[in-house]
């Protein structure tokens, strides 16, 4: 039922269609998600994350992720991290940038800088963090903070393969892209592993 409803939402968005397929391996569940646009072409760089039930918490990565600034662009354009993870914002350009986000409660400001003078920012709330630069209005980037350690982004073939813990009883696949109209839009489908 939920799938039908979500597919309707998807059509209403008029941006992307989603198909998922999965296969079971011996020790783990491998979930392959493939995103195809309404034109039938694969869509790259779609955030995909999976929330599982029946699995205990896992350790956080202790190394920060990196959102660089190169040629007056955020690189990568979209970064997916886990809730509680930190992100470094080095500036690899010769010009200074003034990085900020108004996305509450993950809002922050890194005043005008070159190089890497600022400590990493830790994101303790899940949701989409929209990045901007006060100097260069065209600079736009996104950090997708997710409350799971199962996440990735689609490649050029529109695919990403994620491994879900073998103990998972149910999982919910979410996808998000800056191409969706609203930052809050996140498409989901729920799958029970065993009936």
8 Å CB contact between 189 and 1: no
| C-beta nearest to Cu ion: residue | 133
Element housing 4 (H / E): helix 2-13
CA distance 92 to 96: 9
- For Cu ion, which is the closer residue by CB, 10 or 87? 87
135 touching Cu ion, by CB under 5 A: yes
Report helix, strand or coil for 54. coil
- For Cu ion, which is the closer residue by CB, 54 or 111? 111
User: Sign of dihedral through CA atoms 19, 175, 155, 148?
Assistant: negative
Question: Residue 65 pairs with which residues in a beta bridge?
Answer: 87
- For Cu ion, which is the closer residue by CB, 83 or 136? 136
Q: How far is the CB of 12 from Cu ion (least distance, A)?
A: 35
Q: How far is the CB of 169 from Cu ion (least distance, A)?
A: 46
Cα distances (Å, whole numbers) of residue 25 to 20, 50, 163, 192:
16, 17, 10, 16
Q: Angle at the Cα of 153 (from 17 to 159), degrees rounded to 5?
A: 55
Q: How far is the CB of 4 from Cu ion (least distance, A)?
A: 44
Binding footprint of Cu ion, residue count (CB under 5 A): 4
Positions 55 through 114 that interact with Cu ion (CB under 5 A): 97
Positions 136 through 165 that interact with Cu ion (CB under 5 A): 136
- For Cu ion, which is the closer residue by CB, 31 or 131? 131
Half-sphere exposure (Cβ direction) of 18: Cα atoms closer than 13 Å: 27
- Pick from 133, 144, 162, 173 the residue near Cu ion by CB under 5 A: 133
Q: How far is the CB of 116 from Cu ion (least distance, A)?
A: 15
Q: How far is the CB of 140 from Cu ion (least distance, A)?
A: 11
- For Cu ion, which is the closer residue by CB, 134 or 163? 134
- Per CB under 5 A, residues contacting Cu ion are 97, 133, 135-136
């Amino acid at each position: 039922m939920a799938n039908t409803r979500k597919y309707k939402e998807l059509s209403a968005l008029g941006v992307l269609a989603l198909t998922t397929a999965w296969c079971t391996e011996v020790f783990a569940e491998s979930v392959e998600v493939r995103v195809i646009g309404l034109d039938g072409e694969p869509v790259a760089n779609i955030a995909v994350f999976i929330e599982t039930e029946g699995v205990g918490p896992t350790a956080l990565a202790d190394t920060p992720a990196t959102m660089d600034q190169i040629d007056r662009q955020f690189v990568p354009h979209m970064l997916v991290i886990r809730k509680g993870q930190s992100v470094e914002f080095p500036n690899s350009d010769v010009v200074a940038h003034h990085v900020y986000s108004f996305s509450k409660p993950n809002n922050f400001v890194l005043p005008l800088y070159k190089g890497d003078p600022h400590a990493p920012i830790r994101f303790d709330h899940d949701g989409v963090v929209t990045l901007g630069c006060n100097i260069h209005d065209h600079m736009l980037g996104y950090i997708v903070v997710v409350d799971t350690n199962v996440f990735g982004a689609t490649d050029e073939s529109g695919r990403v393969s994620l491994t879900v813990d073998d103990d998972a009883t149910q999982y919910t696949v979410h996808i998000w892209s800056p191409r969706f109209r609203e930052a809050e839009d996140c498409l989901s489908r729920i799958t029970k592993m065993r009936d």
